[in-house]
Amino acid sequence: MATKFQYLHVNSSMRSKSGSNGEDAKLKINMSGHEIKDIKSVAVKQFTINNSSFNITSHKDTLKFAIVRKKSDGTIDYKRFTLNIPNDYYQSVDLIGTSNEGPTSIINALILAIDDRKVMSESSSFSLALTQDPNTFRVSIKATIGSGNTGNWWFVPVKSRNDTNDGLWLDFGFDSSHLTDERELSVSYLEENLTNPTPGFYEMYTSYSAGETTYTAANHSESGRTTHQIRTPAGR
């Protein structure tokens, strides 16, 4: 039997309601009453996609971190925080922001909205801000100790237990070995790793010189991802 080619024009606006959340694209194909059978292979000849696809979805919409304090008597306290980012398409300037837009970016606004940015009973709240260099796309983090607080402090990016190999911290340029698994986060774990410093514990200070940060990500993570990924949706 001779091979027969049939070209279809598929319009994504015809997708089912179950695919309208920006994650799926389920479509029903109509070939004008002709039955589709004995198909040996299917290939996409050409497609276009615009920036309406979500790049923050239910599979990747949380950012977790911990703030750790070691008091002068050696006692360690910590508190874990979770940012829930609304599912949508974001450009990096909206999600992270540059030094100018940073305070009003989505992530920084969520941090500012945290009711209790404290660890146990310290006297004042810490501050935390993420920014992205518009030229290199490197993400920087500045975590500042609240005034009047004593002891040593660290910012710790935390990996969610359901993160695969493409969590948001990796998209932001963090190395996977610099993430603490939330299942391991405990006082005993911190005691061990703060005694023998491990990558992923970033010391916080009460003040910073101009341009100084707690951490500035490398352009590429271990897996080869770049922070460019947050600028365009998957498949672009």
Length of the chain in terms of residues written: 236
Give the pLDDT confidence score for residue 236 in this predicted structure: 27
Q: How many helical (H) and strand (E) elements, i.e. helices and strands, does the chain have?
A: 4, 8
Tens-place pLDDT, residues 90-135:
888 888 888 765 567 899 999 989 888 888 767 788 899 998 888 8
pTM attached to this predicted model:
0.70
Q: Could you give the maximum distance between any two Cα atoms of the chain, in Å?
A: 83
